[in-house]
C-alpha cells in the first residue's frame, strides 16, 4: 500500500513536466532562514513546521507561507523542484528526493563567516539568485563591521550567525544558541 501511495505521489509530482519557476521547499528551521532570505515568496512551496516558532529569526517573513513535515510524501506533494536542508531528521530523505528528480542542497556546518558566506553562495546558486546571495553577504559583512568592538574580542560564529539572521543554523536548527 505504501509503495502504491509513493508511486501516486511521485506521478503527481512530475505531472505537467518541468516547471518554468523553481518550486522551493525547506526541510528544517535552518534551511527556512536561508530560503526566506534568498527566495522570492512565490517560489516557496513549503517551509518546515518550525518556521513560525518564536526562535525562528525570520518568522515574520514565514507568515502566510505553507508549512509541511519533512517526509517524502509531504515534499513530493508540494511538487518541489529544489529542497534545501541542514538536517531533516531522516538520513534517507535527501537521497530519496534526489532519486525522484528533486535537487537537494545540503547546508554545511559553518564555523566562521567564510563558511556562512559559502553556504549563502551555494544556496543562492541553486536558486539562481547569485546577486541576492552576494547582496546578503555584503549586508551581513556591513552589520559585522558596525558591531566591531560591541562583542569584545569574541569574533565567534555565534556572533556572525546572529548578525546574519541565520542563527537558527547552529546545532541542527536549535536556535537557543543565538
Q: How many domains does the chain have?
A: 1
Q: Would you state the pLDDT for residue 53?
A: 94
Positive or negative CA dihedral for 138, 140, 143, 144?
A: negative
* HSE value, Cβ hemisphere, 13 Å, CA-based, for 129: 22
Positive or negative CA dihedral for 92, 70, 33, 136?
A: positive
Q: Would you state the pLDDT for residue 111?
A: 84
Q: Would you state the pLDDT for residue 144?
A: 87
The Cα 153–Cα 131 span in angstroms is 31
For residue 99, the enclosing domain spans 1-178
Q: Would you state the pLDDT for residue 19?
A: 47
Q: Are 165 and 37 in contact (CB under 8 A)?
A: yes
pTM (predicted TM-score) = 0.77
* HSE value, Cβ hemisphere, 13 Å, CA-based, for 163: 24
Q: Would you state the pLDDT for residue 169?
A: 59
Q: Would you state the pLDDT for residue 178?
A: 33
- Region of 165 please: left (phi>0), alpha (psi -120 to 50) or beta: left
CATH number at residue 149: 3.40.50.1980
Q: Would you state the pLDDT for residue 166?
A: 59
Q: For the chain (length 178 residues), average pLDDT per consecutive 10?
A: 52 50 95 96 97 93 96 96 90 95 94 93 97 96 85 56 53 35
Q: Would you state the pLDDT for residue 109?
A: 87
Amino acid at each position: 500500500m505504501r509503495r502504491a501511495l509513493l508511486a501516486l505521489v511521485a506521478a503527481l509530482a512530475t505531472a505537467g513536466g518541468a516547471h518554468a519557476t523553481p518550486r522551493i521547499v525547506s526541510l528544517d528551521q535552518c534551511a527556512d532562514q536561508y530560503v526566506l532570505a534568498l527566495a522570492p515568496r512565490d517560489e516557496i512551496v513549503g517551509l518546515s513546521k518550525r518556521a513560525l516558532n518564536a526562535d525562528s529569526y525570520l518568522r515574520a517573513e514565514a507568515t502566510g507561507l505553507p508549512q509541511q513535515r519533512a517526509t517524502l510524501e509531504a515534499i513530493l506533494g508540494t511538487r518541489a523542484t529544489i529542497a534545501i536542508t541542514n538536517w531533516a531528521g531522516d538520513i534517507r530523505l535527501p537521497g530519496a528526493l534526489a532519486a525522484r528528480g528533486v535537487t537537494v542542497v545540503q547546508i554545511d556546518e559553518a564555523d566562521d563567516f567564510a563558511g556562512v558566506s559559502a553556504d549563502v553562495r551555494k544556496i543562492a546558486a541553486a536558486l539562481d539568485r547569485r546577486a541576492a546571495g552576494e547582496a546578503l553577504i555584503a549586508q551581513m559583512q556591513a552589520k559585522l563591521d558596525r558591531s566591531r568592538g560591541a562583542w569584545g574580542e569574541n569574533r565567534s560564529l555565534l556572533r556572525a550567525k546572529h548578525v546574519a539572521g541565520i542563527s537558527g543554523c547552529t546545532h541542527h536548527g536549535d536556535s537557543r544558541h543565538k
